A and B are shown apart, each in its own frame.
Chain A
Amino acid sequence: MYAKKLNIFLCALLTLWAVCAQAGPAIQTWNTANGTRVYYVPTEGLPIVDIRVVFDAGSARDGAQFGLATLTSGLLDTGAGQWNADAIAQRMEGVGARLGSGVSRDTAWVSLRSLTSPKLLEPALDTLREIIQHPTFSATDFEREKKNLLVGLKQREESPGDLAGIAFFHTLYGSHPYAHPKEGNIDTVEKLTREDLQTFYQHYYVAKNALIVIVGEVDKAKAESIANGLLSGLPAGEAAPALPKVEQPAASKTERKFFPSAQTHVYSGVPGIKAVDPDYFPLYVGNHILGGSGLVSKITEEVREKRGLSYSAFSYFYPFREEGPFLMGLQTKKGQSDEALSVMQKTLRDFINAGPTLKELEASKKNITGGFAMRLDSNQKLVDQVASIAFYGLPLDYLDTFIGKVDAVTPQEIQKAFKTRIDPDKLQTVLVGADGPHEK
């Protein structure tokens, strides 16, 4: 009764609200002289500017040298131009600015958050420019960062969850560049040399392989001068070539590995969708129902709410440039992993066989569209959204049309997309933990 009354009330609200809040930010774009695309969104209310430079230089570009992209990115702020790591850190932190850098499978990025007051912003920008254009890659910094990365890789082996994730990607992607962990492996990182990093940097940190996102309380002229200066000294170079196609697995596979932990970590999935993908909306909305909406999703309902088998149970599509994984996961105590895996996979199978009900789809759409404003409620989130639109070449009106595309999805489209893209008979499954084959 309560819920019914509420729904009528809400529909009225939703209609009203939809008029004023459906539009995304106006993204302005242009190219710099040496060929870098710039994406700029002015904001008001806070004297902050966020700048993110994204290169197509993620771990998928490692070749056989796993860890190369990560270590290259890690060296950038340890020395640039005339400054060593201490000087760089002091220049940034002395003006309260925050410098960030990192690597994903598809990208390498460098970011800056600063106050907009020129006295604070300019020194931070000067430093950022040097880091991007003239990193030193000194022998001392290289040796230290490499050693510390190796320590991190060793720590990874303490974690059954990490080991399961690594094994899952490996079994899912085989010889594709998405297969290896982005931080690399101990044996591959040990072989890296300073020259390898310099070569990688020279090849991929070039103007035509980069894009710049600027979000904040700066006017267009200022955004242009920031963008023009930032990469001006970089050679134009070439955009990185297309990545190899991802092959779908021919048959299902289950891999078990013992680890002396209380729980077993379970991952199961197949290669899923690309960031630009005709099935994106049916799969995204459908998965929201299946396992992507937290406590109200079907997988959580079956695994956690009904049976108490796991603290977290989920399914997600991670869209990459090429097919990123469709991944279901959970963790459960010794002796329960078969049952929990079985429940999770049956939930997927039932969902694909029956398709979503209209009621489920409506609830899911309401959650996604009603929460749209929260995707854009901070500069930080704006930067994330715009960077993703920019890197994957999504239409600039992507956020404006998002709600309409979600609302247009039908149960039939969801079922068809899942049937075409996710074959439950070809799931790649990894279990790492207490239930592994140890005591045989």
Chain B
Amino acid sequence: MALSRTLACLLLAAPLSLQAASPKVSEFKLDNGLKLLVQEDHRAPVAVTQVWYKVGSSYEHGGITGISHMLEHMMFKGTKKHPPGEFSRIIAANGGSENAFTGEDYTAYFQTLEKSRLPISFELEADRMRSLKLLPDEFAKEQQVVLEERRLRTDDQPRAKLSEQFNAVAFSDSPYRNPVIGWPDDVSRLTVSDLSDWYQRWYAPNNATIVVVGDVKPDEVFKLAQKHFGPLKPSQLPALKPQAEIDQLGIRRITVKAPAKLPFLAMGYKTPVLHGAIDESEAYALEVAAGVLDGGNSARLESRLVRGQQIAASVGAGYDLYSRMPALFMIEGTPVQGKSVADLEKSLLEQVRLLRDEPVTTEELERVKAQVLANKVFERDSIFYQAMQLGTVETVGLNWKIVDEFVDKINAVTPQQVQQVAKKYLIEDRLSIGYLDPQPIPEGQTAPEDRAPVGGNHVR
């Protein structure tokens, strides 16, 4: 233990510049309000483009949940200029990989391409930013695809089901209570007209951030952006309602029964996040608290509950520093055979109590800081990840510079600050607990068949 502390001190003594020069980010803004962030990385002749829109499930209201995600799917289904599927075919023919993702706070589209193909990605993204053509036939099919996606990701996954219903109990009026993919009834009743309204409202240059990371020159990327995105008209964006979560007035519990083999426990404390924080050091202290509990095999949950007490088969903790709205500090786990979720809950609550009652040790804090510093270098191995970070923070309303400040801010966190945030936020009145209560899975029969293979000459 003494050894690791010494080493950690040595690591911290070395300024980051000795580890790797900090990457430079160039920021541009077009007249129509579009923001462009470019980070150079010349290690390989490739570039990633990500287009981030400030819209996601937390922008949605009752009855149309899942619409941001549904629209994301439809963004590949044709514009006035390109028929359905052509976007993907052009990117593929250029050696690119592409996809999109939707979260609570964003909808983002990306292409990774050999660097000289960047104009192709800009031209296509500019086209679908304002000229999407929503075709009813395409929508009808894609709606079925999204419902299959929901079955795959949520309905047939007991822990995902718990998580979905848990969020709906932990949050009363915050839009974080709704699943990103949407409630099934809402998703199956979305219409082309709903989607068209949503598209008109949010897809505009002044609601987007473009992030490019790779073997590029910032000025050239800016000129390219001016050429393709410059002509697009901005929109009058609707003012966002704050939708602040009401005060929680006591512990909340929910049980979800589902066919499963193992019980599972989810605990979430309502916490502030960096965006909108009255005191931003609290957010960094919470980040460190999560690292003390779950920052690897030497962290408390793994060493104490999986190895020491042997009460958890698996356990983890997480905090989302870069959320747009106050979120949950989560702790989750599976008890070992012979222990119950109640036993595990007791042990986890005890670990949280220790965070409140005692300052974390210097060794632990230094371990977390050493990892943060190393990870900062490791993450530069992925241009995609770097672009993700920049896009996320900008889109939730923070400034991208905050990504650069991360190491220093974590380094400034003291044991007292960790204890203070634990005392203030990791308390029973902010806690929701979810239990997965496994229901028997009916024994299925296996029936081998020796019939002629399907798929001969006709399609049923």
* A contact residues vs B (CB 8 Å cutoff): 2-3, 6-7, 10, 13, 16-17, 20-21, 43-48, 77, 85-98, 113-115, 117, 119-120, 123, 144, 147-148, 150-152, 154-155, 157-160, 167, 251-263, 293-296, 301, 304-312, 331-333, 338-339, 341-346, 348-349, 363, 366-374, 376-380, 424-425, 427, 429, 432, 436-438, 440
CA distance A304 to B152 in the complex (A): 14
How far does the Cβ of A158 sit from chain B's closest Cβ, in whole Å? Answer: 5
Tell me which residues across on chain A come within 8 A of B451, comparing CB atoms: 254
B33 close to A (CB within 8 Å): no
Which size class do B's interface residues fall under? 35 or more
Tell me whether B445 and A90 are in contact (CB under 8 A). Answer: no
Tell me whether A305 and B85 are in contact (CB under 8 A). Answer: yes
Tell me whether B262 and A154 are in contact (CB under 8 A). Answer: yes
How far does the Cβ of A302 sit from chain B's closest Cβ, in whole Å? Answer: 9
B140 close to A (CB within 8 Å): yes
Contact with A along B58-91 (1 / 0, CB 8 A): 0000000000000000001000011011101110
B43 close to A (CB within 8 Å): yes
Tell me which residues across on chain B come within 8 A of A96, comparing CB atoms: 11, 370-375
Chain B, Cβ-Cβ closest to A440? B445
Tell me whether A117 and B14 are in contact (CB under 8 A). Answer: yes
Tell me whether B377 and A47 are in contact (CB under 8 A). Answer: yes
Enumerate 20 A-B pairs (CB-CB under 8 Å) in ascending A order.
A85-B303, A89-B302, A92-B298, A95-B370, A96-B375, A155-B262, A253-B449, A254-B448, A263-B155, A305-B141, A331-B151, A346-B458, A363-B89, A367-B96, A371-B96, A373-B45, A373-B46, A374-B46, A377-B46, A380-B382
Q: Which 9 A-B pairs have the closest CB atoms?
A: A370-B95, A96-B374, A345-B455, A94-B4, A258-B444, A308-B144, A89-B297, A89-B298, A377-B44
B331 close to A (CB within 8 Å): no
Tell me whether B337 and A77 are in contact (CB under 8 A). Answer: no
Tell me whether A115 and B262 are in contact (CB under 8 A). Answer: no
CA distance A15 to B297 in the complex (A): 49
Within 8 A of A (CB), among B217-273: 259-262
Tell me whether B377 and A148 are in contact (CB under 8 A). Answer: no
Tell me whether A306 and B141 are in contact (CB under 8 A). Answer: yes
> Which of B110-118, B276-284, B411-419 faces chain A?
B110-118
How far does the Cβ of A291 sit from chain B's closest Cβ, in whole Å? Answer: 14
Tell me which residues across on chain A come within 8 A of B46, comparing CB atoms: 373-374, 377
Tell me whether B378 and A113 are in contact (CB under 8 A). Answer: yes
Contacts A368-B95, A377-B383; is A260 near B441 (CB within 8 Å)? Answer: yes
CA distance A123 to B61 in the complex (A): 53
Q: A155-B262, A378-B381 are in contact. List 15 more A-B contacts (CB 8 A).
A: A85-B303, A86-B307, A92-B296, A93-B295, A93-B370, A94-B3, A96-B370, A96-B373, A307-B141, A308-B141, A310-B148, A339-B459, A371-B96, A374-B112, A377-B43
Within 8 A of A (CB), among B291-347: 295-299, 302-303, 306-307, 310, 313-314, 334, 336-337
How far does the Cβ of A366 sit from chain B's closest Cβ, in whole Å? Answer: 5
Tell me whether B442 and A296 are in contact (CB under 8 A). Answer: no
Tell me whether A253 and B448 are in contact (CB under 8 A). Answer: yes
Tell me which residues across on chain B come within 8 A of A152, comparing CB atoms: 313
Tell me whether B447 and A437 are in contact (CB under 8 A). Answer: yes
Tell me which residues across on chain A come within 8 A of B5, comparing CB atoms: 94
Contact with A along B404-435 (1 / 0, CB 8 A): 00000000000000000000000000000000
Tell me whether A158 and B445 are in contact (CB under 8 A). Answer: no
Contact among B82, B90, B97, B155 with A374 in the assembled complex (CB-CB below 8 Å): B97
How far does the Cβ of A289 sit from chain B's closest Cβ, in whole Å? Answer: 11
Tell me whether B370 and A94 are in contact (CB under 8 A). Answer: yes
How far does the Cβ of B351 sit from chain A's closest Cβ, in whole Å? Answer: 16
Contacts A21-B45, A90-B367; is A255 near B449 (CB within 8 Å)? Answer: yes
CA distance A238 to B75 in the complex (A): 56
Tell me whether A310 and B456 are in contact (CB under 8 A). Answer: no
B145 close to A (CB within 8 Å): yes
Tell me which residues across on chain B come within 8 A of A262, comparing CB atoms: 151, 155-156
CA distance A164 to B53 in the complex (A): 38
Tell me whether A94 and B151 are in contact (CB under 8 A). Answer: no
CA distance A403 to B449 in the complex (A): 43
Tell me which residues across on chain A come within 8 A of B141, comparing CB atoms: 305-308
B354 close to A (CB within 8 Å): no
Contact among B3, B4, B45, B444 with A17 in the assembled complex (CB-CB below 8 Å): B45
Within 8 A of A (CB), among B143-168: 143-149, 151-152, 155-158
Tell me which residues across on chain A come within 8 A of B373, comparing CB atoms: 96
Contacts A117-B14, A147-B336, A363-B89; is A257 near B446 (CB within 8 Å)? Answer: yes
CA distance A363 to B8 in the complex (A): 52
Contact among A46, A98, A159 with B380 in the assembled complex (CB-CB below 8 Å): A46
CA distance A406 to B403 in the complex (A): 41
Chain A, Cβ-Cβ closest to B451? A254
Tell me whether B93 and A158 are in contact (CB under 8 A). Answer: no
CA distance A379 to B381 in the complex (A): 6
Tell me whether A332 and B148 are in contact (CB under 8 A). Answer: yes
B394 close to A (CB within 8 Å): no
B94 close to A (CB within 8 Å): yes
Tell me which residues across on chain A come within 8 A of B44, comparing CB atoms: 373-374, 376-378
Tell me which residues across on chain B come within 8 A of A339, comparing CB atoms: 459-460
How far does the Cβ of A131 sit from chain B's closest Cβ, in whole Å? Answer: 12
Tell me which residues across on chain A come within 8 A of B456, comparing CB atoms: 346, 349
B92 close to A (CB within 8 Å): yes
Tell me which residues across on chain B come within 8 A of A378, comparing CB atoms: 43-44, 381-383
B399 close to A (CB within 8 Å): no
Contacts A308-B144, A370-B94; is A77 near B3 (CB within 8 Å)? Answer: no
